[in-house]
C-alpha cells in the first residue's frame, strides 16, 4: 500500500482520513494502459464490483458528501454539522469569537437553510421568523455575528464583513464591550443591587447578564429589553425556570412602554435600587430623539442607590474611513448609527456620581477595555478604543 504524499484534504480545517485503498499520486490522471492495467478489466464478482474503492470520509460523524449542495439532504446535514463543530470548538476555547465554516453555513432553531443552484452559483435561502425583515441588517443580529453567535441572517453577515474590511479590530471592539458589560454588572451586584434592566440587550449570547450575575447572586432578577423581534423568538434561552428573568420587546425611545410593561414589573421593583445596563445601544438613537433626556428619564424612574452602566461608540480614536464605513453600513440597517465624542458621552452621566474605573483613577469615563481592568494599559487595545464607557450612581 502507498501513502498519499500530498497535504491531507480538509473540511472546516479538519484533515480528511484517506483510505488505504486510494491510488498513489503517480497513478492519478494517467490512462489505464500506462498504469499497467488492461483497458478492460476482467469480470469480478458482483460484491467486488459494487464495493466502493474508498471508505466514506467523515467530518464530525457526517459523510463528506453531505457538505455538497448537490447531495440529497446535504445542506441540512452540513448546517447541523457546522453547528456541532462550533459548539465543540467553543467548549474547548471559551470565548472564541468566531469560527469560519464552509460557506458560513449556520443552523438556527427559528430557521432552516436550503441551497439551490442558480446560474451555476450557490444561493442561500433562509426562512426567518415573522416580523423580521430579511432584506435589512439588524444591529442586534450583526452584534450577535461579531460575537460568534448563530442568531443572524446572511444580510447581517454581509454587512458586518463590509464593516470589518474597513475596521479589522471590529471583533475585538465587540468583545471588549461585552467584557465591560459583564464586569460592570458584577461590580454593581457587589454593591448590593439585586435587580437589573438590560436595555438593548440584543440576542442571547455567551455569558448573558443573568448568567453572569448568578455567579455571585442566586436570586438576581433581570429584565431584558430590545426592539428587535428576533429577541422574542429566542427568548426561551434567556428565561429561567424560577421566573426571575423577563424578556420584552419595546423601544427604549419610549420609556413608559418599557418601565410600565407588566412583564418587567413582574421581576423588577422600581422602589428598590436597580442596575440600568445600557451598553452599545444609545449610539442608535439620533440627537433629534434626545438620547440624554431619555437616559435621565430612566434614571429618574429608579430609586436612590441605583446605578447606570453605559457604553457608546466613538470615532475619536478611529480612522475617519472606518467611522464613515460604519455609519454607511448601519445607514442601510434597521437602525442608523451615531458615533459621539467623549464630551457628548460624558453628558449621559450628568447628575450622577461617576465611579472611578480602576484603582488610582478619578471620576472619568474610559474605553471599554480599561473599566474594571487590573491592568488598564493592557486593556487599552485598538478595538477597545471604539467605545467610551462609565458607571454612575444615583444619590
- pLDDT (tens digit per residue) in 36-86: 444 444 454 444 444 444 555 554 444 444 444 344 444 333 444 444 444
pLDDT of residue 7: 52
Confidence of residue 131 (pLDDT cuts 50, 70, 90): confident
Average pLDDT in the chain: 78
Mark out the alpha helices in the chain (DSSP H runs).
46-49, 74-92, 139-146, 154-166, 170-190, 209-213, 229-233, 255-259, 262-267, 291-301, 320-331, 342-346
Confidence of residue 232 (pLDDT cuts 50, 70, 90): confident
pLDDT of residue 239: 86
CATH 3.40.50.150 correct for 170-393: yes
Mean pLDDT of 178-195: 97
Q: Of the ranges 103-117, 155-169, 234-248, which one carries the lowest mean pLDDT score?
A: 103-117
Mean pLDDT of 176-203: 96
Task: Note the pLDDT tens digit of each residue in 267-317.
Answer: 999 999 999 999 999 999 999 999 999 999 999 999 999 999 999 999 999
> How far from 272 is each of 50, 129, 302, CA to CA, in Å?
75, 37, 8
CB burial of residue 326 (10 Å; 0-12, 13-18, 19+): buried
**What is the model's pTM?**
0.70
Count of residues making up the chain: 395
Residue 122 in this model has a pLDDT that exceeds 60: no
Mean pLDDT of 376-387: 95
Contact 386, 163 (CB under 8 A): no
pLDDT of residue 118: 35
Task: Note the pLDDT tens digit of each residue in 10-28.
Answer: 544 544 444 333 444 444 4
Tell me whether strands 245-249 and 221-226 are parallel, antiparallel or unpaired.
parallel
* 42 vs 47: CA distance, rounded Å: 14
Contact 393, 352 (CB under 8 A): yes
The DSSP code for 30 is S
Contacts of 76 (CB under 8 A, 6+ apart): 112, 113, 114
Would you call 126 helix, strand, or coil by DSSP? strand
Mean pLDDT of 199-225: 90
* 290 vs 304: CA distance, rounded Å: 23
pLDDT of residue 27: 43
pLDDT of residue 231: 85
- At residue 139's C-alpha, the angle toward residues 346 and 331, to 5°, is 85
Amino acid at each position: 500500500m502507498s501513502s498519499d504524499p500530498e497535504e491531507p484534504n480538509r473540511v472546516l480545517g479538519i484533515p480528511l482520513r484517506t483510505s488505504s485503498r486510494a491510488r498513489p499520486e503517480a497513478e492519478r490522471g494517467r490512462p489505464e494502459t500506462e498504469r499497467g492495467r488492461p483497458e478492460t478489466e476482467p469480470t469480478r464478482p458482483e460484491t467486488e464490483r459494487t464495493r466502493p474503492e474508498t471508505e466514506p470520509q467523515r467530518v464530525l460523524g457526517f459523510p463528506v458528501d453531505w457538505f455538497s449542495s448537490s447531495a440529497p439532504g446535504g445542506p441540512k446535514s452540513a448546517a447541523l454539522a457546522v453547528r456541532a463543530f462550533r459548539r465543540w470548538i467553543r467548549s474547548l476555547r471559551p470565548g472564541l469569537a468566531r469560527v469560519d465554516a464552509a460557506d458560513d453555513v449556520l443552523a438556527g432553531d427559528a430557521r432552516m437553510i436550503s441551497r439551490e443552484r442558480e446560474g451555476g452559483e450557490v444561493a442561500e435561502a433562509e426562512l426567518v421568523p415573522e416580523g423580521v425583515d430579511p432584506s435589512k441588517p439588524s444591529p442586534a443580529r450583526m452584534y450577535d455575528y461579531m460575537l460568534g453567535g448563530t442568531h443572524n441572517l446572511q444580510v447581517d453577515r454581509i454587512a458586518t464583513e463590509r464593516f470589518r474590511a474597513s475596521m479589522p479590530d471590529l471583533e475585538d471592539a465587540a468583545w471588549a464591550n461585552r467584557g465591560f458589560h459583564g464586569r460592570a454588572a458584577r461590580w454593581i451586584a457587589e454593591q448590593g443591587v439585586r435587580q437589573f434592566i438590560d436595555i438593548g440587550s440584543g440576542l442571547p449570547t455567551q455569558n448573558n447578564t443573568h448568567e453572569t450575575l448568578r455567579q455571585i447572586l442566586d436570586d438576581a432578577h433581570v429584565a431584558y429589553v430590545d426592539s428587535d423581534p428576533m429577541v422574542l423568538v429566542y427568548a426561551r434561552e434567556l428565561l429561567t425556570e424560577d421566573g426571575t428573568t423577563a424578556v420584552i420587546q419595546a423601544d427604549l425611545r419610549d420609556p413608559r412602554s418599557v418601565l410600565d410593561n407588566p412583564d418587567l414589573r413582574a421581576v423588577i421593583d422600581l422602589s428598590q435600587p436597580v442596575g440600568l445596563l445600557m451598553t452599545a445601544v444609545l449610539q442608535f438613537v439620533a440627537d433629534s430623539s434626545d438620547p440624554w433626556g431619555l437616559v435621565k428619564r430612566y434614571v429618574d424612574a429608579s430609586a436612590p442607590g441605583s446605578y447606570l452602566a453605559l457604553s457608546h461608540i466613538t470615532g475619536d480614536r478611529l480612522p475617519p474611513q472606518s467611522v464613515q464605513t460604519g455609519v454607511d453600513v448601519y445607514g442601510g440597517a434597521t437602525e442608523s448609527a451615531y458615533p459621539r465624542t467623549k464630551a457628548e458621552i460624558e453628558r449621559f452621566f450628568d447628575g450622577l456620581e461617576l465611579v472611578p474605573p480602576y484603582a488610582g483613577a478619578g471620576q472619568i469615563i474610559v474605553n471599554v477595555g480599561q473599566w474594571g481592568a487590573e491592568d488598564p494599559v493592557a486593556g487599552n487595545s485598538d478595538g477597545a478604543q471604539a467605545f467610551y464607557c462609565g458607571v454612575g450612581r444615583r444619590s
